[in-house]
C-alpha cells in the first residue's frame, strides 16, 4: 500500500473509524499488551496477537516502518500465586511459559515484534512514573505503604471505556488492590503494592518502599521506555479496555500531561458455546488441543481471518476443521501453479489494498485468493506472484510450501488415465480416477493438462 492508499481503523477512544495518520510519517509506534506468563495462553488470547500481527503487516505493506513493542507480564498476582504452588522461583516459572509462548506464536506465523519486554526489567521506570504521580498529587500512599492512583483527581478517567464515575455505586469509591476487576467496581487502583508475606521473595527495595508494582503501571513504563511518552497505536483484547487500558491512560497522561495513545484498537472475544473463552470458566482450548487433533495452528489463524477482528466468533471444532480443509485446498491450488513466479496483478492488488485498508477487512481480502485461482485471464506465474504478495499480510505461509513429490504409482495411473482420455475411453478414465482417489490424490483436467494434488 503506497501512501496514496489510505488506511482507516476503528478507534475505541473516539468510537468511530478514522483515517490513519501517524505522528511520524516514516515510523509507526505501536504497543501490544502481551501475555501474562503463568500458563499456556488459550486460543482466545491468541486472537489478540494474530490481530496485532495482521495490523503490523498491513502497516508495513503500506510502506511504514513499525516499531512494535510487546510486553510479557512476569510479575503480578497470578504469576506469584502459581509459581508458589509449583514451588519454583518466579523467574524459573515465568521463563518456562515465555518460551512456550514463543513456540506458539511461531506456529501461528506471528512475526516477532521489534522487541519483547519483560516487566521485571523495568522496575526503575515504574518507580519513576509513580514518583511523578505522587508529585502531581494524583497518587497517594495508604497506611500499609501501598500507593494508589486517585481516579477522581484525573478528570478524564473513563474516556476510553465510557465509564462515568458519578454513576458508580457508593461503595465503589475506596481502593482496590487486585489487578483485575469490573467497571461496577471502579476504585482507586494500586500502582505499588507494599510487601506482605504472601509475596514471599517477590519484592524490590525501592524509594517507594519494599514491594512490587501493580499490573497496570507495568505497561505504561515499558511503552514509555521504548517508544516515548506518546505513541500511535495500542492494541489488545476488548477485555483490556477496562480496567487495564483505562488505567494506563490515567497513569501515563497523569505523569506526562500529554495524550498517551492516538489510536486504541481492540479485538473481540472468541466464544465457546456463546460464552467468553476464559481460564476462570474452564471452557478454553490451547494450541496443544489443536495439535492433539492433528490440526495445523495456521488453520486457526485462517479461521480468525475469515471474520472481522471486531466481530465475536464462536469456536466449534467443526468450523475449525472446515477452515483447515479450505486452507489445504488453497495450498493445493497454489502448488498446482508451477515453479515460475511472474508479476503481481495490479487489478487484484488494488482491490486487496482497498479491503485491508478498510479497518483490516480480511474476510473480503481472503475472497480474492479464491477469485485469483479461478481467473483464467491471468497466467499461473502471475497468480503465484499475486498470492505471495497478499500473503505478506495474511501470513498463511504460501512461500514456505514445498511442492509434494507425486508417488510413482500415482503418476503412472495418471499417465494411463490421460492416454485413456485421449483415446476417448472415458469409462477407463473414470476407473483410473477412482483408483487415484483411493490412494489419497485427485486429478484435475486443466487447459495446461492434468494436475495432480493430495486430497
- State what percent of residues in the chain have pLDDT above 70: 96
Please report which confidence band the pLDDT of residue 383 belongs to, taking 50, 70 and 90 as the band edges: very high
Which pLDDT score, from 0 to 100, does residue 146 have? 97
Strands in 313-315's sheet, in edge-to-edge order, are 275-276, 270-272, 313-315
End-to-end CA distance of the chain: 35
DSSP codes of every residue in 18-75? EE---SSSSEEEEEE---BTTSPPPHHHHHHHHHHHHHHHHHHHTT-EEEEEEEEB-S
Residue ending a domain, among 237, 267, 297, is: 267
**Is 207 among the domain residues?**
yes
**Is 278 among the domain residues?**
no
d(CA 424, CA 15): 64
C-alpha separations of 274 from 47, 260, 287, 317, 371 in Å: 16, 34, 20, 14, 32
Please report which confidence band the pLDDT of residue 173 belongs to, taking 50, 70 and 90 as the band edges: low
Residues 370 and 413 in one domain: no
Please give the angle made by the CA atoms of 207, 208 and 210, to the nearest 5 degrees: 95
Which pLDDT score, from 0 to 100, does residue 170 have? 53
Least confident piece of the model among 100-109, 144-153, 319-328, 438-447: 438-447
Helix, strand and coil content of the chain, in percent to the nearest 5, comes to 45, 20, 35
b/e 89-114 (16+ beta carbons within 10 angstroms → b):
ebeebbbebbebbeebbebbbbeebe
C-alpha separations of 409 from 173, 412, 435, 436 in Å: 76, 5, 10, 9
Residue ending a domain, among 267, 297, 317, is: 267
Backbone angles phi, psi at 182, to 5 degrees: -105, 175
Residues 133 and 223 in one domain: yes
**Is 2 among the domain residues?**
no
> What are the residues facing 25 on neighbouring strands?
none
d(CA 369, CA 348): 9
Residue ending a domain, among 235, 267, 299, is: 267
Residues 163 and 294 in one domain: no
**Residues shown for the chain:** 455
Between 246 and 440, whose confidence is greater? 246
**Is 281 among the domain residues?**
no
Residues 185 and 329 in one domain: no
**Is 322 among the domain residues?**
yes
Give the CA dihedral 13, 18, 24, 30, nearest 10 degrees.
Answer: 50
Number of domains forming the structure of the chain: 3
Residue 391 has pLDDT above 70, yes or no: yes
| Residue range 411-435: mean pLDDT, rounded | 90
Nine cell digits for residue 237: 483484547
Residues 384 and 428 in one domain: no
Please report which confidence band the pLDDT of residue 5 belongs to, taking 50, 70 and 90 as the band edges: low
Residues 246 and 137 in one domain: yes
Residues 76 and 213 in one domain: yes
Average pLDDT, rounded, for the chain? 94
Residues 56 and 134 in one domain: yes
**Is 111 among the domain residues?**
yes
Residues 106 and 176 in one domain: yes
CATH of the domain at 43: 3.40.50.620
**Is 150 among the domain residues?**
yes
d(CA 272, CA 284): 8
Specify binding-site residues.
Answer: 33, 219, 244, 248, 279
Peptide bond just before 7 cis, omega within 30 deg:
no
Residues 86 and 149 in one domain: yes
d(CA 354, CA 344): 16
Q: Residue 132: count other Cβ atoms within 10 Å of its Cβ.
A: 16
d(CA 104, CA 380): 34
In eight-state DSSP terms, residue 231 is E
Residues 311 and 188 in one domain: no
Specify binding-site residues for Zn(2+).
Answer: 33, 219, 244, 248
Please give the angle made by the CA atoms of 13, 101 and 27, to the nearest 5 degrees: 45
In eight-state DSSP terms, residue 36 is B
Contact 51/89 with Cβ under 8 angstroms?
no
d(CA 395, CA 417): 37
Residue 22 has pLDDT above 90, yes or no: yes
| Domain region containing 423 | 408-454
How does pLDDT run across 242-265, given as a tens digit for each residue? Answer: 999 999 999 999 999 999 999 999
> Residue 51 in 3-state DSSP?
helix
Least confident piece of the model among 33-42, 313-322, 415-424: 415-424
Between 425 and 226, whose confidence is greater? 226
Residues 340 and 194 in one domain: no
Contact 278/24 with Cβ under 8 angstroms?
no
d(CA 71, CA 248): 14
Which pLDDT score, from 0 to 100, does residue 26 have? 86
Residue 2 has pLDDT above 50, yes or no: no
| Residue range 180-190: mean pLDDT, rounded | 87
CATH of the domain at 363: 1.20.120.1910
Pairing of strands 261-267, 115-118: unpaired
d(CA 312, CA 239): 12
Q: Residue 387: count other Cβ atoms within 10 Å of its Cβ.
A: 25
Specify binding-site residues for ATP.
Answer: 279
Which pLDDT score, from 0 to 100, does residue 373 have? 98
Give the CA dihedral 155, 161, 166, 170, nearest 10 degrees.
Answer: -120
Contact 205/213 with Cβ under 8 angstroms?
no
How does pLDDT run across 61-79, given as a tens digit for each residue? Answer: 999 999 999 999 999 999 9
Q: How many Å is the maximal CA-CA distance in the chain?
A: 94
**Is 274 among the domain residues?**
no
Q: Residue 201: count other Cβ atoms within 10 Å of its Cβ.
A: 9
Which pLDDT score, from 0 to 100, does residue 4 have? 45
Amino acid at each position: 500500500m503506497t501512501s496514496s492508499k489510505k488506511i482507516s481503523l476503528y478507534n475505541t477512544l473516539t468510537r468511530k473509524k478514522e483515517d490513519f495518520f501517524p505522528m511520524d510519517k516514516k515510523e509507526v509506534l505501536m504497543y501490544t499488551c502481551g501475555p501474562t506468563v503463568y500458563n499456556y495462553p488459550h486460543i482466545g488470547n491468541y486472537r489478540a496477537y494474530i490481530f496485532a500481527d495482521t495490523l503490523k503487516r498491513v502497516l508495513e505493506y503500506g510502506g511504514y516502518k513499525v516499531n512494535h513493542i510487546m510486553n510479557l507480564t512476569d510479575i503480578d498476582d497470578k504469576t506469584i500465586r502459581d509459581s508458589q504452588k509449583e514451588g519454583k522461583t518466579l523467574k524459573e516459572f515465568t521463563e518456562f511459559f515465555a518460551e512456550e509462548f514463543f513456540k506458539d506464536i511461531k506456529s501461528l506465523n506471528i512475526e516477532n515484534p521489534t522487541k519483547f519486554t519483560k516487566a521485571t526489567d523495568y522496575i526503575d521506570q515504574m518507580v519513576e512514573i509513580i514518583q511523578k504521580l505522587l508529585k502531581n498529587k494524583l497518587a497517594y500512599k495508604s497506611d500499609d505503604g501501598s500507593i494508589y492512583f486517585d481516579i477522581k483527581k484525573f478528570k478524564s478517567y473513563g474516556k476510553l471505556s465510557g465509564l462515568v464515575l458519578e454513576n458508580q455505586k457508593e461503595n465503589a469509591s475506596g481502593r482496590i488492590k487486585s489487578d483485575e476487576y469490573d467497571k461496577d467496581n471502579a476504585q482507586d487502583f494500586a500502582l505499588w503494592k507494599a510487601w506482605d508475606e504472601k509475596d514471599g521473595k517477590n519484592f524490590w527495595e525501592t524509594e517507594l518502599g519494599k514491594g512490587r508494582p501493580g499490573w497496570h503501571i507495568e505497561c505504561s513504563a515499558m511503552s514509555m521506555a521504548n517508544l516515548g511518552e506518546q505513541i500511535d497505536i495500542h492494541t489488545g483484547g476488548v477485555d483490556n479496555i477496562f480496567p487495564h487500558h483505562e488505567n494506563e491512560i490515567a497513569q501515563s497522561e497523569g505523569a506526562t500531561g500529554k495524550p498517551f495513545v492516538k489510536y486504541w484498537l481492540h479485538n473481540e472475544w472468541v466464544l465457546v458455546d456463546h460464552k467468553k473463552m476464559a481460564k476462570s470458566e474452564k471452557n478454553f482450548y490451547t494450541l496443544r488441543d489443536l495439535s492433539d487433533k492433528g490440526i495445523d495452528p495456521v488453520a486457526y489463524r485462517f479461521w480468525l481471518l475469515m471474520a472481522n477482528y471486531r466481530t465475536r466468533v464462536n469456536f466449534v471444532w467443526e468450523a475449525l476443521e472446515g477452515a483447515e480443509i479450505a486452507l489445504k485446498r488453497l495450498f493445493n491450488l497454489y502448488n498446482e501453479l508451477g515453479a515460475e513466479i511472474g508479476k503481481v496483478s495490479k487489478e487484484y492488488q488494488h482491490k486487496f489494498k482497498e479491503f485491508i485498508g478498510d479497518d483490516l477487512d480480511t474476510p473480503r481480502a481472503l475472497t480474492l485468493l479464491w477469485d485469483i485461482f479461478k481467473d483464467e485471464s491471468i497466467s499461473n506465474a502471475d497468480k503465484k506472484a499475486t498470492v505471495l504478495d497478499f500473503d505478506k499480510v495474511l501470513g498463511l505461509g504460501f512461500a514456505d510450501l514445498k511442492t509434494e513429490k507425486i508417488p510413482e504409482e500415482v503418476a503412472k495411473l495418471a499417465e494411463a488415465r490421460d492416454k485413456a482420455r485421449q483415446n476417448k475411453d472415458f469409462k477407463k478414465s473414470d476407473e483410473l480416477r477412482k483408483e487415484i482417489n483411493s490412494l489419497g490424490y485427485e486429478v484435475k483436467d486443466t487447459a495446461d493438462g492434468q494436475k495432480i494434488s493430495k486430497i
